[in-house]
């Protein structure tokens, strides 16, 4: 029996309508007066620290210092809440609003595994009123490596549960091959949902234990 489910955010729980990219663009325009088109330089599933580093390297043309990357992330957060609220394309993905309360009612522990830094994750979830379902998570602010932040989520879930999570009773849910690799690297199975940029076939090819169009279709719980 599955006792804990760890969800990715962007492309899995919701789509912000490009609000994250808008916030990054506004941040770098404010700090450096440059137009940074994030979508030209990044791929789905990247962590926020990875995105900041790539923009410095590929757009500004040098490696940013630790202080510069910290300032860029702070500016991104400053713009993100408004960008999410202004987004006309924001949507909670199909089946999520039905699945989360059902799992919570059944006593399944719900957590997050996301490349977003923690405060960004909760800003994105807030508009869809989804924060209330998640008591722990692993975030881009824990590590720029998705496998490592997934391991942190599993550890924190054990703290909430009062005992270590059983890997056999824990699954991840994500929409990219990076999610599949990270969950397997953390020792848990993964459901791939084709609600982002990747198809069911591509998620199957990436090694997902289950792959489906969305969580409404044959979700293994």
- Collapsing DSSP to helix, strand or coil, 221 comes out as coil
Instruction: State how far the Cα of 120 lies from the Cα of 215, in Å rounded to an integer.
Output: 24
pLDDT tens-digit readout, 60-106: 888 889 999 999 999 999 999 999 999 999 999 999 999 999 999 99
Q: Are residues 9 and 36 in the same domain?
A: no
Task: Count the domains in the chain.
Answer: 2
Q: What is the pTM of this model?
A: 0.93
Do residues 72 and 52 make contact, with C-beta atoms less than 8 angstroms apart? yes
| One domain, residues 43 and 67 | yes
pLDDT(4) > 90: yes
For residue 83, which of 39, 135, 51, 124 has the smallest C-alpha distance? 124
Domain final position from 69, 86, 103: 86
176: domain CATH number is 3.40.50.1000
- pLDDT for residue 91: 98
Look at residue 51 in the predicted model and tell me its pLDDT: 87
Residue that wins the pLDDT comparison between 34 and 89: 89
Beta bridge partners of 136: 111
Checking if the pLDDT of 45 tops 80, the result is: no
Reported as a pLDDT band with limits 50, 70 and 90, residue 41 is: confident
Q: Go through the chain and tell me how many residues it has.
A: 221
């Amino acid at each position: 029996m599955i006792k804990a489910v760890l969800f990715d955010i962007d492309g899995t729980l919701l789509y912000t309508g490009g609000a994250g990219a808008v916030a990054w663009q506004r941040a770098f325009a404010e700090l450096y007066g440059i137009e940074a088109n994030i979508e030209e330089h990044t791929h789905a599933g990247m962590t926020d620290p990875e995105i900041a580093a790539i923009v410095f390297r590929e757009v500004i043309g040098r490696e940013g210092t630790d202080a510069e990357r910290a300032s860029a992330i702070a500016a991104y957060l400053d713009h993100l809440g408004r960008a999410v609220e202004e987004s006309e394309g924001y949507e909670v993905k199909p089946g999520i609003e039905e699945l989360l309360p059902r799992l919570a009612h059944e006593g399944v522990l719900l957590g997050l595994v996301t490349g977003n830094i923690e405060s960004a994750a909760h800003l994105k979830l807030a508009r869809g009123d989804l924060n209330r379902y998640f008591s722990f998570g692993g975030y881009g602010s824990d590590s720029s490596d998705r496998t490592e932040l997934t391991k942190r989520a599993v550890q924190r879930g054990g703290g909430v549960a009062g005992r270590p999570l059983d890997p056999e009773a824990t699954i991840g849910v994500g929409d990219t091959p990076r999610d599949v690799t990270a969950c397997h690297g953390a020792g848990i199975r993964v459901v791939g949902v084709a609600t982002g940029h990747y198809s069911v076939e591509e998620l199957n090819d990436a090694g997902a234990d289950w792959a489906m169009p969305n969580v409404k279709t044959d979700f293994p719980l």
